[in-house]
Structure 1
Amino acid sequence: MATDSEPGQIVIPEGYTLHTENTARVLLPPENQAFLNPVQEFNRDLSVACIRTWSELLNEEKEAKWRRNQERRAKQAERGPKAKRVKTEDAAKAAAPVTENTQEIASENATESEVPQPAAGPSAKKQPEGAVVQYQPYKSVILEALSASGLRSIRYAKEVPLVKYVIANDLSHSAVEAMKRNVEINGLGGQDASNDEPSDKRTNGTAKPQLGKVRVSEADACALMYNHRADKSRVDVVDLDPYGTAAPFIDAAVQCVNDGGLLCVTCTDLAILATVNYPEKCFSNYGGVPVKAEYCHEAALRLVLHTLSTSASRYGRYIQPLLSLSIDFYVRVFVRVFTVPNEVKKALSKTSTYYVCSGCQAFYEQPLGRVIENVHQPSGNVNLHFKAHTGPPVPNKCLECNSPLHVAGPMWSGPIHDTAFVGKVLDHVEASSNSYGTSARMKGMLTVAKEELGRPFYFTPSRIAGAFHCVCPSLDELASALLNAGHEVSRSHASAGSIKTTASYADVYDIMRCWIKNHPVRTDKIAPNSPAIHLLSKEPKTEANFKHHPKSVTSSSKVKILRYQSNPTPYWGPGKKAGSGPAPASGKRKRGGGDDDE
């Protein structure tokens, strides 16, 4: 691979094409040896923004911890000789049992090495007494287990400031060759050892570590991640973006990421996650059964989060979802992983199965566990007791329409977004709109995710009206009625025209029955055994108020923003799996998208 003598100029070999995305440039071969889907630019833009925001958050946490340690050392220095005498007296008690307080101090000292310290060496010893010690920002190590062309890794290295280096891995030899070529043309390859940082233990131990900003590895993804599961060799970010399911890589990923680190996971197998065509395959991959309802795409997210949670729990770790999105033909989740055994116990109460009505699609939640808090009055300490949950929440048929119920799950039932984190990502995107090619859609999607309620599942007015065989109320009218009744409402990022609410389906159906009083339904046109007859046979328990509410979801913004994706090309989707044949001009089948929505 040769380059021009002029800086920034690249000689493009015959048959190759130069693809530019933001700050990165990659050469694509004529045959489909290293797969690249241009439609996934939104995925890559969103990943850069989330990793950048997370790295700044982690750096703030590291700095706060470093400053606490500095203050502790300063206090010890102020005590001077007195502290030394106390230390001598305490030495006689060295054989005594270790208390909880001493364990905490030992733990703090043990993890102090993780906090960035000033550069050590001869120059550090020559610092004048009383010199101010400056905090050195913490830089993260990113591992992309399935890199293909390397475009994503290159963008991470160039666009995330607090990155030490990126490990770009792939098992395919042709993909590795493409990555090396692309790393070189972006100026991120190896450098002379004298001008770079010392080698890091988190590189692949099977070969001599490379010293570039992007370090290419040719290895099995799981084997590579298992080689990084020791505490000192863990990485800070793991990105899994496979063709199809990420399930085979999750166990290795949750072990090799640092405490407080970030997992970025993509699954494109929505034919398994978001339909009931292959429940046995969904169970084998994700440990749960999918949902057959209009909210199946959110259920797909919750099945993936359930898999991450159960995999992490095996190793005394728990997940904190930061952002979970259903996008086009795939799902993408960003979660932090922490090692706190007591928090692992709470995962039971954040996992549920659901009974889903086959007629009106109402759902009934069955949590697997519950947490009981007992407060010790003299001390104020809170003791947690974990119990199995009572159930079932419903008999064998739907309480509303008398239709059969289907079981779905178990799946994650806790929040799928961290509102504070999403707000920080949104602020970053708004301040750096020119840095992302899909910034308009990012702002729209993040805006909806920030406002989205944490409770499971959503509905659309058209689907509810279809169950009653009545005229459909507008989004504003139904949302206003819910708000006027004292319930909370929001939109869902997963579907255009959707509503999430704290109200139960029984409350929503009561509002619909009030709506029908002013918009009568011709029951003579409905079959006697139809679920709609059961829905219409009940009288509303309260009077609904459809007057416009100021917090109605349809008036949340006066500015038109792109919340739901339009079809980017005539034929698009996950595309064809990388192979030796020629690459298709676009995805393999046409997929429906959302619309430009206010």
Structure 2
Amino acid sequence: MSNSSEPLAGANLETSPAAGQTITHRGVKYTTIKEGRAHILVPPNAKTEVDPKSSSKDSGENSQNVFYNPIQQFNRDLSVLAIRAFAEDFSARRKERAQGKKKNQDRNAKKKKAKAEKRDQGSAVVVTEDLSHNKEETSATQSATRATDAAASSDQTATGAGEQGKDVPQPPIAESEGPGNAKKRKSEEINEHADEVKKQKIATNGLAGDEGVATTDEARDHTTTTGTSEAAEDNVLNPAKAAALPKGQRPDDKLRSHLRILDALSATGLRALRYASELPIPTHLVANDLVPAATNAIKLNVTHNRLTHAITATTSNAQAHMYSAAFAFNEHAYGRYDVIDLDPYGTAVPFIEPALLALNDNGLLCVTCTDAGVFNSMGYLEKTYSLYGGIPVKGFHAHEAGLRLILHSIATSAAKHGLSIEPLLSLSIDFYARVFVRVRRSPADVKFLASKTMIVHSCDSGCGSWALQPLARTSTQVGKKGGEFHKYHPALTAGERNCEHCGFKTHLAGPMWGGPLHNPWFIGRVLGLLPQVDDEVYQTKSRIEGMLSSALEELEVVSALNPVSGVDSESGAKAQQKQDRGGVNGKRSKDEEPTAEPASPKLTTGDEVPEAAHTNPDAKANNNDKGHEPILGLIPAVPPTIIDSHPFYFQPSALSGTIKCQAPPEAMIKGALRHMGYTATRTHAKPGMIKTDASWAVIWEVMREWVRQKAPVKDGSLKETSAGFRLLYPDGKKEAEGVDADGEEAEKMEVDGEEVKRRIGNGKGADDGKRRKVVFDDVLGRDRPTKRLVRYQVNPRANWGPMTRAKG
């Protein structure tokens, strides 16, 4: 967002837009604010920031009837890039469908041609046999006639002799039925084939080029200047006209080259303006708002930005608009959208179900929820349940739990209609949450939803740990013929009433989404776009890169998502990164030097050459021989069977507060976990947090070793009834030298040259009783990126945050 300090006066609505202009329209002076490539007109004395110490009466500002918050530019920059990445997938799917349709047409044409040739060959044989038979009969007749004429030659006159020389006519039946019918049938088949070709051309009307896709700025500009004047393109853009055509002439909506986007709660229309001006694919947008004043502002901004050919402003209830797009009579096939953006003031839950229904198959749903006080805290848990269908979490991991509650609400609403969701990107940003979800019509994938839904047993009043309880489980079975199929079972009870680590009571949270929060290929695609975009247009580019890099690193704990590290082997991302961190299985020998943690997983965009192409040099040639052209741009889907077995993150300083010791550095804890063979990364939601695949038993074992090695606890600082005391002394009493309080022996283990005692027995402190060497290696735990990344928000200005609700 940029704004000139000296407004440019003397401009009107037809003047080329520029930042800082003063536009006079119908006696009202507007100030122009530029964000990205879009310009919006702000009425005089409109609020663009809030000072809590002043009131609107004192400042002379008008009541806010159109909402604009410059703090959310990060949201809009990210949305443009996310939709741009999705547009590449959209175009690739159109190209794939066009190729598949052409392949089917060619196959059908070959079959029809072969059938016609076979029929013609059969007809030719019949005609040849008939002609031979007719010739034989003609010869016999002529011989008999000549013999008769020779016998009566004395009685014949000259005239009779002349008649003798006449040829006997051939039977016309065989000739007329043979080649004549074959030619007639062949002519009919040619006409039928021509009719089919004509219908296919009509069905594919509206395609851009031979491949049916357009992904460049030139294609978008050509569509905006000439597309609306063509009848075919107009039929595609206008659902009513397209549905009114005869069935054989209706365009194939799945071969449409342009992207259809709905900005359901548009306000000033800024999002629609940016999508229309910055996406490199032909777009048709609908900017909708309930308030007529907002719609008038949208029309002014669209006219001023010269985007009337691409954006249509409507005044209607967003829910009614989306329901009508999904179920309008004879128009629903052409009225649905490819992308729907929901950015309300507060929760987006009331708009989720109609938005899901109004989306095309493989459509993108963008959702913003700004009611963080509801889904991120326990202050209004009854409201959280009524909106999102689950109870929030109390603790440092509440931000990720809030994201999972939002995804749970979307997933359950979609499942009722046979729709499955795939989170492409889920972020907790400032005071709101932003999720990008791909919606697919797949009743088979919906069956996995119960297995990806979980309840959390949270020890919020004790040590802060949690235990997961899935609602169901899925198993893969092998059939009698070797094929695989899935079976669905109720899950066993996993949680307990009291925490297994500190003994305090646990509380329930959820149900909530238990699958991955992101798609690594989608994140890689967005990150791959950043070097191509202008820093002046996307002023939050550095923060987008930092936050998405952190989100990509979070997926390291999901072992099933091997492509995160760019490794397609069986070991996958986790094993490769452990090997990079030091030694086999993530454990470094004594003679090895510590190595720095790699910056981030290798970016994957979905366009990489498959692993088979690396091992088999003839794979590509064989692929081309079969006539299969590789489709670039498709974003692979995360398999629906994958669950996130290690959700949430923990805060080392909070754990040290529980046991009353000095807070350990983040690198120390991460280094200790990585030395033990576990994955430990940061999270995008909050700084100073660690996300790991280690169990809570291992985490508390590391914290006990931290106290023993680095930061002893002062005597008397922990009460015997406190959670910290039970965590430090799992058996309830302090250990004596060599023998514990119960008289059982204690073993000694060497850690960094020191002898440390640990109880031998069934104590809960150790994870399954195995001996573990804890080494606090800060070098191993330190992340050394190749470049400095802005991973977390810094205060952009004073009193920033959500502004007051728009009125009008």
Q: If the TM-score is normalised by the length of the shorter chain, which range does it land in?
A: 0.7 to 0.9
Is 1:507 the equivalent of 2:626? no
Counterpart Cα distance in 1 of 2:390 and 2:119: 56
Residue 481 of structure 1, aligned match among 672, 683, 696: 672
* Equivalent residues in 2 for 1:150-169, closer than 5 Å: 150-169=269-288
Counterpart Cα distance in 1 of 2:205 and 2:87: 15
Counterpart Cα distance in 2 of 1:401 and 1:324: 32
Q: Could you tell me which residue of structure 1 aligns to residue 56 of structure 2?
A: none
Q: Could you tell me which residue of structure 2 aligns to residue 197 of structure 1?
A: none
Q: SS of the counterpart of 2:406?
A: helix
Is 1:217 the equivalent of 2:335? no
Question: How big is each residue's C-alpha offset from its partner over 1:470-504, in whole Å with a ceiling of 9 and x where there is no partner?
Answer: 12221111111111111112211001011111111
**Residues 1:113 and 1:318: Cα distance change in structure 2 (over 3 Å):** farther
Counterpart Cα distance in 2 of 1:83 and 1:283: 64
Q: Could you tell me which residue of structure 1 aligns to residue 541 of structure 2?
A: 439
Q: Could you tell me which residue of structure 2 aligns to residue 576 of structure 1?
A: 804
Q: Could you tell me which residue of structure 2 aligns to residue 260 of structure 1?
A: 362
Q: Could you tell me which residue of structure 1 aligns to residue 36 of structure 2?
A: 22
Equivalent residues of 1:144, 1:167 under 8 A apart: yes
Per the TM alignment, residue 237 of structure 1 is displaced from its structure 2 partner at its CA by: 0.5
Residue 52 of structure 1, aligned match among 84, 92, 105: 84
Counterpart Cα distance in 2 of 1:121 and 1:277: 57
Is 1:302 the equivalent of 2:302? no
Counterpart Cα distance in 1 of 2:701 and 2:406: 34
The one-letter code sitting in structure 1 at the alignment partner of 2:264 is A
The one-letter code sitting in structure 1 at the alignment partner of 2:479 is H
* Equivalent residues in 2 for 1:510-525, closer than 5 Å: 510-518=701-709, 519-525=711-717
Is 1:422 the equivalent of 2:523? yes
Counterpart Cα distance in 1 of 2:469 and 2:652: 25
- TM-score, normalised with respect to structure 2: 0.62
Q: SS of the counterpart of 1:261?
A: strand
* Equivalent residues in 2 for 1:175-194, closer than 5 Å: 175-189=294-308
Counterpart Cα distance in 1 of 2:205 and 2:544: 33
Q: Could you tell me which residue of structure 2 aligns to residue 367 of structure 1?
A: 470
* Equivalent residues in 2 for 1:206-355, closer than 5 Å: 212-229=309-326, 230-355=332-457
Equivalent residues of 2:681, 2:690 under 8 A apart: yes
Q: SS of the counterpart of 1:155?
A: helix
Q: SS of the counterpart of 1:384?
A: strand
Q: SS of the counterpart of 2:447?
A: helix
Counterpart Cα distance in 1 of 2:40 and 2:458: 47
Equivalent residues of 2:266, 2:287 under 8 A apart: yes
Question: How big is each residue's C-alpha offset from its partner over 1:150-191, in whole Å with a ceiling of 9 and x where there is no partner?
Answer: 1111001111122421100000011011111001000011xx
Per the TM alignment, residue 218 of structure 1 is displaced from its structure 2 partner at its CA by: 0.1
Residue 141 of structure 1, aligned match among 238, 260, 278: 260
Equivalent residues of 2:478, 2:485 under 8 A apart: yes
Counterpart Cα distance in 2 of 1:395 and 1:345: 28
Per the TM alignment, residue 15 of structure 1 is displaced from its structure 2 partner at its CA by: 4.7
The one-letter code sitting in structure 1 at the alignment partner of 2:23 is I
Which residues of structure 2 form unaligned runs of 5+? 1-9, 45-61, 121-199, 213-229, 233-253, 327-331, 559-645, 731-757, 759-764
Counterpart Cα distance in 1 of 2:117 and 2:433: 61
Per the TM alignment, residue 549 of structure 1 is displaced from its structure 2 partner at its CA by: 7.3
The one-letter code sitting in structure 2 at the alignment partner of 1:487 is Y
Counterpart Cα distance in 2 of 1:397 and 1:506: 15
**Residues 1:290 and 1:136: Cα distance change in structure 2 (over 3 Å):** closer
Is 1:532 the equivalent of 2:761? no
Counterpart Cα distance in 1 of 2:323 and 2:316: 11
Deviates further, 454-463 or 216-225: 454-463
Q: SS of the counterpart of 1:277?
A: coil
Question: How big is each residue's C-alpha offset from its partner over 1:401-424, in whole Å with a ceiling of 9 and x where there is no partner?
Answer: 111111000000100000111011
- TM-score, normalised with respect to structure 1: 0.83
The one-letter code sitting in structure 2 at the alignment partner of 1:490 is T
Counterpart Cα distance in 2 of 1:245 and 1:171: 16
The one-letter code sitting in structure 1 at the alignment partner of 2:717 is K
Question: How big is each residue's C-alpha offset from its partner over 1:529-558, in whole Å with a ceiling of 9 and x where there is no partner?
Answer: 110011011355333433537763x32404
Q: SS of the counterpart of 1:16?
A: strand
Question: How big is each residue's C-alpha offset from its partner over 1:352-379, in whole Å with a ceiling of 9 and x where there is no partner?
Answer: 010000211101000011112111153x
Equivalent residues of 1:316, 1:344 under 8 A apart: yes
Identify the structure with the greater helix proportion: 2
**Residues 1:257 and 1:461: Cα distance change in structure 2 (over 3 Å):** same
**Residues 1:537 and 1:5: Cα distance change in structure 2 (over 3 Å):** closer
Counterpart Cα distance in 1 of 2:801 and 2:14: 40
The one-letter code sitting in structure 1 at the alignment partner of 2:669 is L
Counterpart Cα distance in 2 of 1:5 and 1:148: 22
Per the TM alignment, residue 86 of structure 1 is displaced from its structure 2 partner at its CA by: 9.4
**Residues 1:324 and 1:4: Cα distance change in structure 2 (over 3 Å):** closer
Q: SS of the counterpart of 1:353?
A: strand
Q: SS of the counterpart of 1:227?
A: helix
Per the TM alignment, residue 271 of structure 1 is displaced from its structure 2 partner at its CA by: 0.6
**Residues 1:534 and 1:7: Cα distance change in structure 2 (over 3 Å):** closer
Per the TM alignment, residue 561 of structure 1 is displaced from its structure 2 partner at its CA by: 1.1
Residue 82 of structure 1, aligned match among 114, 117, 136: 114
Q: SS of the counterpart of 2:275?
A: helix
Counterpart Cα distance in 2 of 1:255 and 1:183: 28
The one-letter code sitting in structure 1 at the alignment partner of 2:723 is P
The one-letter code sitting in structure 2 at the alignment partner of 1:370 is R
Residue 74 of structure 2, aligned match among 33, 36, 42: 42
Question: How big is each residue's C-alpha offset from its partner over 1:185-235, in whole Å with a ceiling of 9 and x where there is no partner?
Answer: 00011xxxxxxxxxxxxxxxxxxxxxx211001000000000111343210
The one-letter code sitting in structure 2 at the alignment partner of 1:21 is E
Equivalent residues of 2:401, 2:648 under 8 A apart: yes
Q: Could you tell me which residue of structure 2 aligns to residue 407 of structure 1?
A: 508
Q: Could you tell me which residue of structure 1 aligns to residue 12 of structure 2?
A: 3
**Residues 1:283 and 1:310: Cα distance change in structure 2 (over 3 Å):** same
Counterpart Cα distance in 1 of 2:451 and 2:208: 40
The one-letter code sitting in structure 2 at the alignment partner of 1:476 is A
The one-letter code sitting in structure 1 at the alignment partner of 2:311 is V
**Residues 1:146 and 1:6: Cα distance change in structure 2 (over 3 Å):** closer
Which residues of structure 1 form unaligned runs of 5+? 89-108, 123-134, 190-211, 581-598
Give me the identity figure in percent: 38
Per the TM alignment, residue 65 of structure 1 is displaced from its structure 2 partner at its CA by: 2.5
* Equivalent residues in 2 for 1:108-119, closer than 5 Å: 116=207
